[in-house]
Amino acid sequence: MLKSIKLRAILILIFLVISVIYCLPNVIEPQGVWKKYLPSDKMHLGLDLKGGMHLLLELDTVKLVQNIADRKFNAFKDAMIRDGVRFLGLDAKENAFLVTIRPEQKEKLYNIVGKEFSDLKAGTTRTEGENIVVEFLMSTKELENIKDNAVNQALETIRNRIDQFGVSEPVIVKQGGNQVLVQLPGIEDSQRALELVGKTAQLEFKLVDEEGSARYTGGSVPEGDEVLTLKSRNKETGITTTTPILLKKQTLLSGELLTDARVKIGGEFGNEPYVAIEFNSEGARIFDKITAENVGKRIAIILDNTVYSAPVVRERITGGKASITGGFKMDEAKDLAIVLRAGALPAPVKVTQNITIGPTLGQDSIKKGIQAAILGAVLVLAFMIYYYRLSGVLANLALFLNIIYLLGAFTALKATMTLPGIAGIILTMGMGVDSNVLIFERIREELRIGKTVRAAVDGGYEKAWVTIFDSHVTTLITTFILFIFGTGSIKGFAVTLSIGVIINLFTAVVGSKTIFDWILMKYKPRSLSI
Amino acid sequence: MKFVEITKKTNIDFIGFRYKMLVLSCILVLLGIVGFVMISIGKANLSVDFTGGTQLQLGFSKQVSIGDLRKALISGGVDDVQIQEISGKNEFFIKTKMIDSDKERVQDKINAILNNEFKETGSRILGSNMVGSTVGKQLKRNAIIAIAISLVCIVIYIAWRFTFIFGLAATIATFHDVLSILGIFYILNMEMNILFITAVLTIAGYSLTDTVVVFDRIRENMAKMKSKTELGTVINRSVNEVLSRTLVTSITTLVAVGAILVLGGKVLFDFSLALFIGIVVGTYSSVFVASPLIYMWRQRVR
């Protein structure tokens, strides 16, 4: 008997020491030697307590597929022209291309598709007078792959941007088919963060259609042209104005070939910050060619379909360096350099959820949560002592152990504490005493029918055990499902409640029983204060 | 030995009350069904978590009247706005169906209006929650699935530990509790958000615990008492025996939840209120719904 009490007491103490060690960093900063050997992680606080931003971004996959199809369409057209396939008509329809040719050209066409566009599947062929119309379909599996890759690429790009911007402990994860969840704790300028994360950052260089512009007065846009807006900011007043500008549709050069982007100040742009970009060798070659061909003309620098500037090419530029100006403020230029360096998102993203919690609100929540926890604890403890006297003290010891274990386990498991999580702890205190209540009521019953103290305690624990076990399992089932289906703060609640319930099983059945046994052994009381 | 007791040894005829309680329970469940239908057709006070929209918490450094705020927002183009004052703190919750577009964030729009209209009172946005409508629908679906799955799992567990009838009775009692909270929240026009769903599931677990405790005792007494003893007597005796435990646990849990209710602040208030109501209903149902159901079922079978 004594041996078993000792064994259990040691077990309880070991758990207590481990929990306290894990809890310590939350209270004091470990110093010197201690720092080396003891855990130093603090409890992770959720956004609702720490303040920050929670964004759910949805990749526009429809647009993405359209972009991919457009690109493939152009490549397909180029290949046909290059190999001398004389097509009489070419049409794109969703994920299908329709080519109208003379029947004798059919073999040549199939050759190109077989060699270079193996992912295109030949669909129906129908005759139209003397010609035939051949249909090619993009495979749906391929499209799924493209979507998948795009989400992963977006994830990577966003991670890069956030890393370069510098946010501690960000969360960036894929969610569902085409969503990315981003959590940025401690962010103060939410607008800036949103721009940084959500900007597509598609950089393009296009030629300004000067002739067309001269004739263009609104209305129908000339064939092969498009109208975008040119954004310019007046340095003195800070007012941004937009003017429409007519461009040749064809993209001469895009941001994929960038190797670097840096913020610079001075030089020919005065003291206004600008972004200096650098292309890789292929980009440099293309840039060389387009500047050589277009001396005296204007080339528009476009970011996400907004023209930032449209400088006149004064001479051929070799070496692949260019600058983007646009009346930037320092922060804007910095962020632009980051997004250009990190690369463009494969498709535009839409913000479908945006929760921003200011730092003061978070602190307020922590304060209120802790106050509520203290009040709750005091009331529960007082009630237990009033109702169960000395045994109540014992139950309170078990409850105290429960909370220390819970906090220790929580920190050790690196779980995230949220506001509902604090509520979960308080609820655990209320429900945690239930096991002891069940046991004590049983003991009382046993005593009422005249059993000895020893027999009553043993009988009480034994009979209450089945009930305690059943009730804990049912609670665990609900918390488990909450964990699977819940997001963010709900998960925090589910974790606290389930850890609390499991620990409670131990503290109530092993913890308080051990102390009971020890007291009964030592003092052999004739009656029990319960 | 003497004990501090809430109830002396009781001998209440719970089964005898069953028809009166049936009426009360039916009213609660009916309310819940009305609430559920209203939620389904979007007429209840659902948070932006489920409907999509934007919710902001605003703070002012000086006192601002709710009417001025509403007028300013509406004239600034934010119509369809619900405003709620947090008393004594110059803070407001505002809720609108509008969501962020590519061009403009709702938060920025409101911020601009406030900076214009309330220059002297220094406004600031303390927190915001913008949810697109697709996400909202997804969440609503997930919440319903979560509730359904957990209820099914629990029936299976209880049916396995006891018998199918016990499992069924426990489930009906749990449904009764879930619907009651839904109905009461609907009548009180309280906002239902994700935290509310969490509370409902927690209550489902709590109420089951209560029911399991009673059932455990019924099972024990059925084995102990002679087979000739009338089932009603067994149930009455069992419920009476665990009554003090039921009350003590409810009191301690209510005390803990009460602390959150009083001190937890606005965010946790609705949550803890749902828990509070749920604990009361859950305790009631374990005594007056679950056990009488078993009795009535057996009567019918015989």
Q: Which domains does chain A have, with CATH numbers?
A: 2-49+361-523 (1.20.1640.10), 62-138 (3.30.70), 204-343 (3.30.1360.200)
> CA torsion, points A364, A366, A368, A374, in degrees to nearest 10?
-160
Q: How many domains does chain B have?
A: 2
pLDDT digits (tens, 9 = 90+) for B183-198: 999 999 988 888 888 7
Distance CA A378, CA B255 (A): 10
| pLDDT of the residue at A235 | 66
**B250 and B186: one domain?**
yes
This model of the complex carries an ipTM of: 0.85
Query: pLDDT at residue A222 above 60?
Result: yes
Angle formed by the axes of helices A330-342 and A190-198, nearest 10°:
30
- B203 belongs to a structural domain: yes
The average pLDDT across A115-138 equals: 83
Which residue has tokens 């919440």?
Answer: B143
Name the residue among B201, B212, B257 with its Cβ closest to that of A427.
B257
Subunit contact B249:A437, Cβ cutoff 8 A = yes
Subunit contact B198:A433, Cβ cutoff 8 A = no
Q: Looking at chain A, how many residues does it have?
A: 530
Distance CA B34, CA B30 (A): 6
| pLDDT of the residue at A488 | 61
**B76 and B142: one domain?**
no
**B186 and B254: one domain?**
yes
User: Which chain B positions have a beta carbon within 8 Å of A189's beta carbon?
Assistant: none
Q: Which residue has the higher pLDDT, B102 or B219?
A: B219
Please name the residues in contact with A146: beta carbons below 8 A apart, sequence gap of 6 or more.
A64, A65, A68
Q: What is the pTM of this model?
A: 0.79
Q: Which residue has the higher pLDDT, A419 or A55?
A: A55
Which residue has tokens 């002592």?
Answer: A385
Is residue A223 within 8 A of residue A240, CB to CB? The reply is no
Burial label, A81 (beta-carbon count in 10 A; 0-12, 13-18, 19+): exposed
- B165 belongs to a structural domain: yes
| Domain closes at, from B83, B115, B131 | B131
Q: Which residue has the higher pLDDT, B150 or B173?
A: B173
Subunit contact B4:A387, Cβ cutoff 8 A = yes
Name the residue among B134, B251, B256 with its Cβ closest to that of A376.
B256
Distance CA A468, CA A472 (A): 6
pLDDT digits (tens, 9 = 90+) for A132-154: 888 888 878 878 888 888 888 88
The average pLDDT across B58-63 equals: 86
User: Which chain B positions have a beta carbon within 8 Å of A479's beta carbon?
Assistant: 205
**B218 and B206: one domain?**
yes
Distance CA A296, CA B219 (A): 95
Closest chain A residue to the Cα of B104, Cα to Cα: A191
User: Which chain A positions have a beta carbon within 8 Å of B132's beta carbon?
Assistant: 56, 58, 350-353
- B10 belongs to a structural domain: no
- B1 belongs to a structural domain: no
**B145 and B218: one domain?**
yes
Q: Which of A215-229, A399-413, B30-44, B230-244 has the weakest average pLDDT?
A: A215-229
| pLDDT of the residue at B218 | 92
A vs B, Cβ pairs < 8 A, gives: 214
Subunit contact B1:A530, Cβ cutoff 8 A = yes
**B163 and B214: one domain?**
yes
**B120 and B141: one domain?**
no
| pLDDT of the residue at A489 | 65
Question: Where residue A2 falls among pLDDT bands split at 50, 70, 90?
Answer: low
Expressed as residue numbers, the domain containing B293 is: 15-46+135-301
Portion 320-379 of A in contact with B at CB < 8 A: 348, 350-358, 360-361, 364-365, 368-369, 371-373, 375-377, 379
Portion 421-480 of A in contact with B at CB < 8 A: 423, 426-427, 429-431, 433-434, 437-438, 441, 444-445, 447, 463, 466-467, 470-471, 473-475, 477-479
Is residue B174 within 8 A of residue B158, CB to CB? The reply is no
Query: pLDDT at residue A1 above 60?
Result: no
**B82 and B188: one domain?**
no
Question: Where residue A218 falls among pLDDT bands split at 50, 70, 90?
Answer: low
- What are A326's two structure tokens? 């646009």
- B9 belongs to a structural domain: no
Query: pLDDT at residue B26 above 80?
Result: yes
Subunit contact A437:B252, Cβ cutoff 8 A = yes
**Maximum mean pLDDT: which of A52-66, A198-212, B29-43:** B29-43
**B240 and B282: one domain?**
yes
Subunit contact B209:A434, Cβ cutoff 8 A = yes
Distance CA B47, CA B130 (A): 11
Provide DSSP, chain B: -----SS-S----TGGGHHHHHHHHHHHHHHHHHHHHHHHTT-S-B-HHHH-EEEEEEEESS---HHHHHHHHHHTT--SEEEEEETTTTEEEEEES----SS--HHHHHHHHHHHH-STT-EEEEEEEEE-HHHHHHHHHHHHHHHHHHHHHHHHHHHHHS-HHHHHHHHHHHHHHHHHHHHHHHHHTPPB-HHHHHHHHHHHHHHHHHHHHHHHHHHHHHHHS-TTS-HHHHHHHHHHHHHHHHHHHHHHHHHHHHHHHHHSHHHHHHHHHHHHHHHHHHHHHIIIIIHHHHHHHHHHH-
Apex B226 CA angle, B223 and B231, nearest 5 = 80
Question: Where residue A487 falls among pLDDT bands split at 50, 70, 90?
Answer: low
CATH code for position B127: 3.30.70.3220
Portion 235-294 of A in contact with B at CB < 8 A: none
Subunit contact A351:B132, Cβ cutoff 8 A = yes
User: Which chain A positions have a beta carbon within 8 Å of B252's beta carbon?
Assistant: 380, 383-384, 430, 433-434, 437
Q: What backbone phi and psi angles, to 5 degrees, belong to A474?
A: -65, -40
- B189 belongs to a structural domain: yes
Is residue A399 within 8 A of residue A507, CB to CB? The reply is yes
- B99 belongs to a structural domain: yes
Question: Where residue A458 falls among pLDDT bands split at 50, 70, 90?
Answer: very high
**B78 and B224: one domain?**
no
| pLDDT of the residue at A269 | 66
**B124 and B197: one domain?**
no
Closest CA relative to residue A272, chosen from A222, A349, A325, A197:
A325
The average pLDDT across A327-342 equals: 86
Query: pLDDT at residue A256 above 60?
Result: yes
In angstroms, what separates the C-alpha of A338 from chain B's closest C-alpha? 21
Query: pLDDT at residue B27 above 90?
Result: yes
Q: Which residues are bridge partners to A184 per DSSP?
A: A53
Q: Which residue has the higher pLDDT, A380 or A40?
A: A380
Mutation choice for B interface testing from A179, A379, A390, A426 by most B CBs within 10 A: A426
CATH code for position B233: 1.20.1640.10
pLDDT digits (tens, 9 = 90+) for B204-261: 878 888 888 999 899 889 888 877 778 889 999 999 999 999 999 999 999 989 998 9
| Domain closes at, from B131, B163, B181 | B131
Closest CA relative to residue A61, chosen from A141, A158, A147:
A147
| Domain closes at, from B79, B113, B131 | B131
Is residue A257 within 8 A of residue A279, CB to CB? The reply is yes
| pLDDT of the residue at A150 | 86
- B92 belongs to a structural domain: yes
**B115 and B156: one domain?**
no
The average pLDDT across B105-112 equals: 84
